[in-house]
């Protein structure tokens, strides 16, 4: 439901109309919160949500990643029954090849953890891997792990799905409205300040993807998260790249992944040496470097042109894990404020992060995933995390610029 003004109190306000913020607003409403207001500085999905690659992988490197990926996958599969619309999830199968003895040891240990959590992940010997993926240059790997249930969705369709979900659930959506700060009284939030005026509410959820640190700073909350360029390209079609011949693949060595798209390959990458910051243009030299790596592994792509290329700024955290937890100001929890970010995995973890965030805002805990260690209190003053880094992630920077803010509590 769209509103022309923000007059009247709300029961909960969500800042940010990306995948996490929008689905969180929907889940809050479905949980019985009467008046949920969502504000978005631009338009719904205008940021990375509509320019992602759409990968949904359950083969995470930590139990948190596995549970978030599997919850999201199941949510995508059940969307049509729940909403009458879906995000276009397509089961495709996901292959993580190994190229060294160290890769094999890590993959087998990871697979044991994933299997223990109920995932149907299996080991493929080199010959089995080559047979499953006939487009891959033969004899290049030492085997790998494979999950047939992993897949991908269509990011613009996901934006449409959550826009429809918000409308049918009765969430009040206001686009073109910027968050400018919190309103507090006696150490507790009482609402927010916006470019269109104040909104009173006892619950506030702060999201923002790659702009989360900036959003949080306006609330006086320091969040060690950042934004960095991510590039995606789609090759020309070729018969060898038919969908039935191409599982999704993640080359962890190069930080390069690919999946079928429009009869060709969609492939994505992030430069680990690039400084954090907003970027929407394509880095042609790095794209050429990744095209070379892709051609080494999928030789048919060497002679193919590119149909489309694009870049978007996506979010990351130093440990490559999401942020789900209360807002913290000067070391103290600010009651009524919850901070959420998907750590660059908005399509893969977004619905699960959103559901867990809604739960935390309402009850402090969630059945989706154990959030006890996923809050802001895991970071020290320098932004270092006490958690180990998720090893199955794009090569994002391991340090994030902090955006400290000041908040006077009355």
What is the predicted pLDDT for the residue at 277? 87
Q: Are 400 and 225 in contact (CB under 8 A)?
A: yes
Number of domains in the chain: 2
What is the predicted pLDDT for the residue at 342? 97
Which of 316, 349, 374 is the last residue before a domain boundary? 316
> Residue 265 forms beta bridges with which residues?
260
- Average pLDDT per consecutive 10 residues, the chain (410 residues; last block may be shorter): 63 98 98 98 92 95 98 98 96 98 98 98 98 96 98 96 98 97 94 96 97 96 94 97 96 96 96 86 95 98 97 93 97 96 96 98 98 97 93 79 38
181 phi and psi, to 5 degrees?
160, 175
What is the predicted pLDDT for the residue at 5? 56
Query: In this structure, are 49 and 76 located in the same domain?
Result: yes
Query: In this structure, are 213 and 102 located in the same domain?
Result: no
What is the predicted pLDDT for the residue at 404? 38
Query: In this structure, are 305 and 243 located in the same domain?
Result: yes
Residue 193 sits in a domain whose CATH number is: 3.50.50.60
Query: In this structure, are 370 and 359 located in the same domain?
Result: yes
Domain that holds residue 104: 90-150+227-316
Q: CB within 8 A of 244, min separation 6: which ones? A: none
Distance between CA atoms of residues 167 and 379, nearest Å: 36
Q: Are 161 and 87 in contact (CB under 8 A)?
A: yes
What is the predicted pLDDT for the residue at 7? 65
Buried/exposed 271-310: b ≥16 CB within 10 Å, e otherwise: beebebeebeebbeebbeebbebbeebbebbeebeeeeee
Distance between CA atoms of residues 245 and 239, nearest Å: 9
> Residue 264 forms beta bridges with which residues?
261
Distance between CA atoms of residues 83 and 94, nearest Å: 27
Query: In this structure, are 167 and 309 located in the same domain?
Result: no
């Amino acid at each position: 439901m769209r509103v022309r003004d923000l007059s009247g109190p709300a029961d909960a306000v969500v800042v940010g109309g990306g995948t996490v913020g929008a689905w969180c607003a929907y889940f809050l409403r479905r949980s019985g919160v009467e008046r949920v207001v969502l504000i978005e500085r631009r338009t719904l999905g205008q940021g990375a949500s509509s320019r992602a690659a759409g990968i949904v992988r359950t083969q995470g490197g930590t139990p948190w990643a596995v549970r978030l990926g599997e919850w999201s996958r199941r949510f995508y599969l059940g969307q049509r029954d729940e909403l009458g619309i879906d995000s276009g999830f397509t089961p495709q199968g996901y292959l993580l090849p190994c190229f060294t003895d160290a890769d094999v040891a890590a993959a087998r240990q990871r697979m044991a953890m994933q299997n223990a959590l109920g995932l149907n992940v299996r080991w493929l010997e080199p010959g089995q891997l080559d047979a499953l993926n006939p487009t891959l240059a033969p004899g290049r790997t030492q085997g790998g792990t494979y999950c047939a249930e992993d897949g991908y969705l269509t990011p613009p369709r996901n934006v449409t799905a959550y826009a429809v979900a918000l409308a049918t659930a009765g969430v009040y959506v206001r686009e073109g409205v910027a968050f400018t700060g919190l309103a507090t009284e006696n150490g507790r939030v009482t609402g927010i300040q916006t470019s269109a005026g104040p909104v009173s509410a006892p619950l506030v959820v702060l999201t923002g993807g790659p702009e989360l640190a900036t959003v949080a700073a306006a609330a006086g909350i320091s969040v060690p998260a950042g934004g960095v360029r991510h590039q995606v390209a789609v090759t020309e079609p070729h018969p060898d790249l038919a969908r039935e011949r191409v599982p999704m693949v993640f080359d962890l060595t190069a930080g390069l992944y690919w999946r079928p798209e429009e009869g060709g390959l969609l492939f994505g990458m992030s430069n680990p040496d690039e400084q954090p910051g907003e970027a929407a243009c394509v880095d042609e030299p790095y794209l050429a470097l990744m095209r070379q790596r892709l051609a080494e592994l999928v030789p048919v792509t060497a002679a193919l042109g590119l149909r489309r290329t694009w870049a978007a700024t996506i979010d990351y955290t130093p440990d490559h894990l999401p942020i789900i937890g209360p807002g913290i100001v000067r070391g103290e929890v600010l009651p009524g404020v919850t901070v959420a970010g998907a750590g660059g995995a908005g399509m893969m973890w977004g619905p699960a992060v959103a559901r867990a965030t809604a739960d935390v805002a309402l009850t402090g805990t969630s059945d989706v995933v154990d959030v006890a260690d996923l809050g802001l209190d895991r970071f020290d003053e320098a932004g270092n995390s006490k958690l180990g880094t998720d090893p199955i992630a794009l090569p994002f920077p391991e340090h994030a610029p902090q955006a400290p803010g000041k908040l006077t509590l009355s």
